[in-house]
Amino acid sequence: MLNFRHLHYFWVVAQEGGFARAAERLDMAIQTVSTQVRELERSLGHQLLKPAGRGVALTEAGQTAFARAEEIFRLGSLIPEEVRQAAQGPAARLAVGLSDGISKLAAHALLAPVLGTESLRLLCHEGEVDPLLAELAMHKLDLVLAGRPAPHKPGLRLSSELLVQAPVDWYGPKTLVHAAELREFPLCLNRLPVLLPTAHSALRGTLDHWFAEQGLQPNIVGEFEDSALMAVFASRGLGVFPVSRLGGEDLERMHGLRLLGHLEEVKEEIHAIRSRRGQHHPLVLQLLDAARRAP
């Protein structure tokens, strides 16, 4: 069997570029270190180090051995932390994909029922819908939250459920939202600076259709993929913006924002998409059940 102590001495010598510096780092005699490395070379049947100036360099065989040694000792360095985590109990892992178009404030509200889970390890991955569905199909994600249902592709073996159909509310900074704007909503959107989700969002198409129906021509000063980022810019005075009512509670904690008006006829949809293999994940089932029972 390979002597890992000899391998470790070789690895240190290669890192330090010489036996003297390696011996100093290991707090050992140079002769001892040299002897151990020579034993490793004999056991492998190949020279690993060659003289190079005042130090040593790796031979081609040595480069291969060093690369493997790097992997071995890097993995070994992870053992203490992984053992500590294992001793504390298994982590409850939940990997969720969030499509670019959905309100991240609403997504946070949907995930809230499981955030108190002991030893939770939550992974949130944001991106375009199709790449997220590919990751879901390969079981890299447990759930995808998207603004549209899964496409009907038998090879993907995915199922989707309309989880949320929440009305949209409008908020804005206190510097822009006064009594007159409250009285004249939604006509006031013709004169106020407006922030909107980008075309990635299914909600944007619904809003554009509603603007046309109402004869509104809003002054769009900003477009955002992330609703939370849009809220931050709005709170700094950039403009008023729409957001799913599901995420409205988070906005109440944000300094400087005021409710402008309710828009019951415009709704944001969020679909929960799962793979067949992932349909029984306990945390996914918990948050889906909470969403179904929500008023």
Using one digit for the tens of pLDDT, what is the confidence trace for 112-126? 999 988 778 898 998
Q: Taking a C-beta distance cutoff of 8 angstroms, is the pair 163, 288 a contact? A: yes
Note the pLDDT of residue 191.
94
Q: Which comes out higher in pLDDT, residue 58 or 255?
A: 58
Question: What pLDDT is stored for residue 155 in this prediction?
Answer: 62
Tokens 């051995």, located at residue: 65
Most confident of 93-107, 114-128, 181-195: 181-195
pLDDT at 152: 76
| pLDDT tier, 40 (very low <50, low <70, confident <90, very high otherwise) | very high
Specify the pTM: 0.62
Express each pLDDT in 208-267 by its tens digit: 999 999 999 999 999 998 888 898 999 999 999 998 888 776 676 667 889 999 999 999
Confidence of residue 100 (pLDDT cuts 50, 70, 90): confident
52 CB neighbour count, 10 Å cutoff: 11
Three-state SS for the chain is: CCCHHHHHHHHHHHHHCCHHHHHHHHCCCHHHHHHHHHHHHHHHCCCCEEEECCEEEECHHHHHHHHHHHHHHHHHHHHHHHHHHHHCCCCEEEEEEEECCCCHHHHHHHHHHHCCCCCEEEEEEEECHHHHHHHHHCCCCCEEEECCCCCCCHHHCEEEEEEEEEEEEEEEECCCCCHHHHHCCCHHHHCCEEEEECCCCHHHHHHHHHHHHHCCCCEEEEEECCHHHHHHHHHCCCCEEEEEHHHHHHHCCCCCEEEEEEEEEEEEEEEEEEECCCCCCHHHHHHHHHHHHCC
Say which range, 23-27, 130-134, 220-224, 238-242, has the weakest mean pLDDT.
Answer: 130-134
The predicted structure's pLDDT at residue 72? 93
Contact assessment for residue 106 and residue 164, using Cβ atoms and an 8 Å cutoff: yes
